[in-house]
Structure 1
Amino acid sequence: MGFNDPYDCALTPNIESPSDEETELLRNKYLSKADLADSQRYEFTTKSTQELRELFLRSAHGAIKQSTDQFLKTRGVTCFSEKNDDLLMWSHYGGRYKGVCLEFDTEVDPFGKIKPVRYLPELPKVAVASILLHNTFDPVLELYCTKSASWSYEREWRAIHSGAGTRFVYAPEALTGVYFGPDIDTQSVEIVCLVLAGQNEGVRFYKGSRSSTEFRVLFSEFTYTSHLQAKKLGLLP
């Protein structure tokens, strides 16, 4: 499945040009490498500071584009939200109010590796000098958890996976709640509750309804009782 945001995981960031001092530090760092080829050593030695700065910038642009293209082909992303009552979220991802929203315990694996998405009003900046000098690629990795401020209503968290197109499972105890959309049919509620009753009896169920005073979905908890249980309890004839 693709992203509905054309910038998602495909950002071309603004790469900050290294200062003269940073460029010289980078020159010395590469010249100190024992395995540097003679041709490369000559290039780093003879180029002016301005020429070297332009070289680093071209290399950075190429490396980030390659990383982005490779990411979209080889990595997977699982997306979550902090909210369960937003109208747009239910419309876009909740089957137009006929689906379900799952609540997870984030202390249980694999949810410990999820990271919050940051929302920015403009494309992010990446300091190539900092990356090359300190060997940290965290700023590049953050690009895959960065979106336009237009999407901030999603309050998204996401997990990055090493394999694309892979289905991941979670331990039954990780699921703590199921929120049913306001327009879900009774049969679907019955099926979900029956399946979960045999997997995790601690899951709590909530039925959604439209608020009469706010633009949001309200939820009320209910206790599921199967047909057989109801008969045993004398609740049915």
Structure 2
Amino acid sequence: MSRLQADQVISEVNYNAGDPSYEMADPHQYLLGRQLEKELLLQYDKGIVSLAQRVTCPLMWSHYGDQHRGVCIGYSVPPNAQHDLHKVKYGGKRLVDASKVLAMLDGDKDAGLQVDEAVLLRKAASWRYEQEWRLIGERGLQNSPLELEEIIFGMRCTEAVKYAVIAALDGRSRSVRFYEMSELHGTFNLKKYPLDEGEMRAFLPRRSRDTDEAFESAAFPVAEK
């Protein structure tokens, strides 16, 4: 932001602070804080990939897995990308000291990390069950540093979806493991089990006339009198 633009922002803040609808002790501070927040977000030209630490959380399957009908994708993080992977912190405050922002804009890396933590790596305590990690990098289309390791199907995922995903990943130079979720009897707990691909491939895909033809081949001729 140029000096002229900054002066215009301050002028607008001074003007809008006189609005009686702002029922607060210091509307100047509030409006200036909003403008600083807006400018800070403009400086954050970063992309985020959100990941979860565990696959057995029923809430995660309900909220993000189409009520257990979806799939979960498991990745590994190569050593050269692990410095971009950060654990989300829950609770605390979202406030950022203006001095830290200024230091970050001046190139202070430590201040930048502190601002990153407040802006990109903090969520309300009620989201703690997600156990989220975030991979932070450049925005836009690019090659992923993550390695696809496994696909886990929800316990309500249809056989057709399972087969379609498995077939789509055939022929990869790096193999992928397949699992399916199941509820432990008498509990609310979930557990993943290896998926029997061989059995699925033996029966899928099916033609709509397969069943009719099977009955036709098994029909017995009626004896003539």
TM-score clears 0.5: yes
How much does 1:68 deviate?
2.6
How much does 1:127 deviate?
3.7
Closer/same/farther in 2, CA of residues 183 and 133 from structure 1, 3 Å limit: closer
Range with greater deviation from structure 2 (90-99 or 215-224): 215-224
CA contact (8 A) 1:110 1:170 kept: no
Task: State the match for 2:184 in structure 1.
Answer: 211
Letter in 1 for 2:135: A
User: Aligned equivalents of 1:95 and 1:111: distance in 2?
Assistant: 29
Residues 176-199 of structure 1: per-residue CA shift (max 9 Å, x gap): 111110000001111111122221
Q: Among residues 51, 70, 83, which one is paired with 2:54 in the alignment? A: 83
How much does 1:211 deviate?
2.1
User: Aligned equivalents of 2:142 and 2:50: distance in 1?
Assistant: 12
Q: Give unmatched runs, 5+ long, in structure 2.
A: 1-28, 205-225
How much does 1:124 deviate?
3.3
CA contact (8 A) 2:74 2:150 kept: yes
User: Aligned equivalents of 1:210 and 1:167: distance in 2?
Assistant: 37
Closer/same/farther in 2, CA of residues 70 and 139 from structure 1, 3 Å limit: same
Q: Give unmatched runs, 5+ long, in structure 1.
A: 1-56, 231-237
CA contact (8 A) 1:182 1:209 kept: yes
Task: State the match for 2:135 in structure 1.
Answer: 159
CA contact (8 A) 2:90 2:123 kept: yes
Closer/same/farther in 2, CA of residues 70 and 105 from structure 1, 3 Å limit: same
Q: How many residues align?
A: 168
Identity of aligned residues (%): 25
Task: State the match for 1:124 in structure 2.
Answer: 94
Task: State the match for 1:199 in structure 2.
Answer: 172
Alignment of 1:84-233 (within 5 A): 84-107=55-78, 113-120=84-91, 122-129=92-99, 132=102, 135=108, 136-142=111-117, 143-163=119-139, 166-167=140-141, 169-170=143-144, 174-200=147-173, 202-225=175-198, 227=201
Alignment of 1:63-74 (within 5 A): 63-68=36-41, 71=44
Q: What is the TM-score when the length of structure 1 is the normalising length?
A: 0.59
Residues 68-101 of structure 1: per-residue CA shift (max 9 Å, x gap): 3564xx5432210001011111011111101111
CA contact (8 A) 1:75 1:160 kept: yes
Over the aligned positions, Cα root-mean-square deviation in angstroms equals 3.3
Q: What is the TM-score when the length of structure 2 is the normalising length?
A: 0.62
Residues 1-23 of structure 1: per-residue CA shift (max 9 Å, x gap): xxxxxxxxxxxxxxxxxxxxxxx
